[in-house]
Amino acid sequence: MITELRLINFGTFACERIPLEPLTLFIGPPGAGKSTIASALQTLGSIITRGLAATFSPELVIFDYFLRNDAPPWEGETPVMGLGLSGRADAVTFDYDIIFHRNADSPSGFRIVYEGLKTKGGQFPCHFSSGQWFPEDFPLPTGGGNGLRALRPPERECFFRFVETAEDQTGEKLRAVMYEDLLKIRSLVRHQETYRLRPDAGRAGCPPYDGSGRQPLLEPDGANLARGIHYLQEDRRDILLHLRQWLVTYSGGDSGFVGIGATARENRVWLSFFEKDQRGENGSVPGMRYSDGGRMMTALSYIACCETGPSLAFFETPEICQPPQKMPLLFSLFETMATRRDAPCQTLIAAYSPCFIDTFRDQPGSVVLLNSGKAVRLTEIEGWEEVLSIYPPGQAWQANVFEWTGENTDAEG
């Protein structure tokens, strides 16, 4: 689980710490940085697993796209970008930071201004750092470690990539004592997904399940939902029954809904929904009676019920198409996803609906407000308890009761 994300000159954020919980809700006006957080997590995951050069390959132009527009030059050179995170991967707790800028003379295309790694509880507890980062108002948890510069010059790749690929004696020694710990961290940040589910997820047909025994991972827009249901229908009826229970609850229990499956035609599969007719017989429902909201709920239930999935999932506006009375069920589904005993999925949500935000009333510490490149936990805003004793959080946010602009932590009572 990732407990904190640190951003320097990334998107709308100049220097900011963003707290993360097993279940975190991000709220804020358009352009506040909700999607930027998802992009930052994916970018940092790519740096750790693939390296700087592969992440920011010239044809992708990702570095220039995410570099903050008004980022100042660093010591007379090009502006720096920095990303860092803290968290826990199995028994290993860790902090990692990397700050870098473009450098045409470097083999990787970048020069690392600062890099630090601190681990505890694993095979080889360590605290390495190299370079310098001066701002006193934004100290890094990785600062003050043993030097890395002698091991890996700043013109080379990031530490994770260096340990994996170095062919000299130093690289071999580090691999021998650190490989298992680094592998756990890499696995945590690699297995993440950002979902922007389409309201008509699964409405179009898709190629069928191939019978391999491997669970299809849901695509970010949910386009292969029918293939996933086909897999459950063929190989995992137990999970399909669990998913069905979510949909029965969603339908209200009295609509006649009895099941879900996949129908194959001409080398493609489509979702099929079944309910009892007036004679008490099961029949297919064309187009699913509860429309796009039901399809969205099916896609989310598939992620929540399946045993194989991302270790971290970011959902953008998953509440669209859902009526207000379904919001508590949607919250319960996400809570189940984040807290299940086997293979929990850290769940981050960016939402706008006040009705959905209201479902976090009993978990105010899981709500993070974003505005003007700043982030603050709701419980860090002065007077938050008094506000929530009067208003539910969604109503308070919609009416701007908190009056938080990113420049202070005051709330209007």
* CA dihedral (15, 17, 23, 25) positive or negative: negative
**Whether 334 and 411 share a structural domain:** yes
The CATH number assigned to the domain holding 48 equals: 3.40.50.300
Strand order in the sheet with 257-265: 257-265, 268-276, 282-285
380 assigned to some structural domain: yes
Digit-coded pLDDT (tens) for 221-264: 999 999 999 999 999 999 999 999 998 898 876 566 778 888 88
* Poorest-pLDDT segment among 24-38, 353-367, 399-413: 399-413
Q: Which domain holds residue 317?
A: 1-191+310-413
Q: CA 201 to CA 52: how far, in whole Å?
A: 34
Continuous H helices in 169-220 = 169-190
Provide the pLDDT confidence category of residue 288 given band limits of 50, 70 and 90: very low
Residues near 67 by beta carbon (within 8 Å), at least 6 away in sequence: 9, 10, 79, 81
Q: Quick one: pLDDT at residue 409?
A: 54
Residue of 344 and 172 predicted with greater confidence: 344
Claim to verify: residue 131 and residue 64 sit in the same structural domain: yes
Domain boundary among 267, 282, 309: 309
Whether 8 and 111 map to the same domain: the answer is: yes
Report percent pLDDT > 70 for the chain: 89
Average pLDDT estimate for 83-92: 95
380: left (phi over 0), alpha (psi -120 to 50) or beta: alpha
What element of type H or E holds 119? strand 110-120
Same domain, 384 and 305: no
Residues 149, 296 within the same domain: no
Structure tokens at 333: 């589904």
Same domain, 49 and 127: yes
Check whether residue 321 and residue 269 sit in a common domain.
no
Q: What is the mean pLDDT of the chain?
A: 87
| Chain Cα centroid distance, residue 21 | 11
- Highest mean pLDDT of the ranges 35-44, 172-181, 254-263: 35-44
Examine residue 159 and state whether it is found in any structural domain, yes or no: yes
For residues 178 and 234, membership in a common domain is answered with: no
Token pair belonging to 246: 């979510």
User: How high is the pLDDT of residue 225?
Assistant: 94
pLDDT of residue 280: 52
Domain match, 224 and 331 both: no
* 248 lies in the same domain as 149: no
pTM above 0.75, yes or no: yes
Domain boundary at 244, 276, 309, which? 309
pLDDT at 165 over 50: yes
Within 8 A by CB and 6+ apart from 136, the residues are: none
Segment 171-196 mean pLDDT: 88
Name, in order, each residue with C-beta under 8 angstroms of 42's C-beta and a sequence gap of 6 or more. Answer: 192, 194
Q: Which of 309, 342, 374 is the last residue of a domain?
A: 309
Query: Does any domain span residue 196?
Result: no
Domain contains 18: yes
* Domain assignment present for 338: yes
At residue 153, what is the residue type? P
Do 176 and 224 have their domain in common? no
Q: Is 254 exposed, middle or buried (0-12, 13-18, 19+ CB in 10 A)?
A: exposed
Q: What percent of the chain has pLDDT over 90?
A: 56
The domain total for the chain is 2
Q: What is the pLDDT of residue 150?
A: 47
Whether residue 370 lies inside any domain: the answer is: yes
Mean pLDDT in residue range 216-221: 94
> Do residues 163 and 121 lie in contact, with contact meaning Cβ atoms separated by under 8 Å?
no
**Residue whose C-alpha is closest to residue 271's, from 287, 258, 256, 282:** 287
Q: Average of pLDDT values for 74-103? A: 92
The yes-or-no verdict on residue 66 having pLDDT over 90 is yes
For the ranges 84-93, 116-125, 281-290, the lowest mean pLDDT is seen at: 281-290
Asked if 185 and 274 sit in the same domain, the reply is no
Is 104 part of any domain? yes
In a domain, 171, yes or no: yes
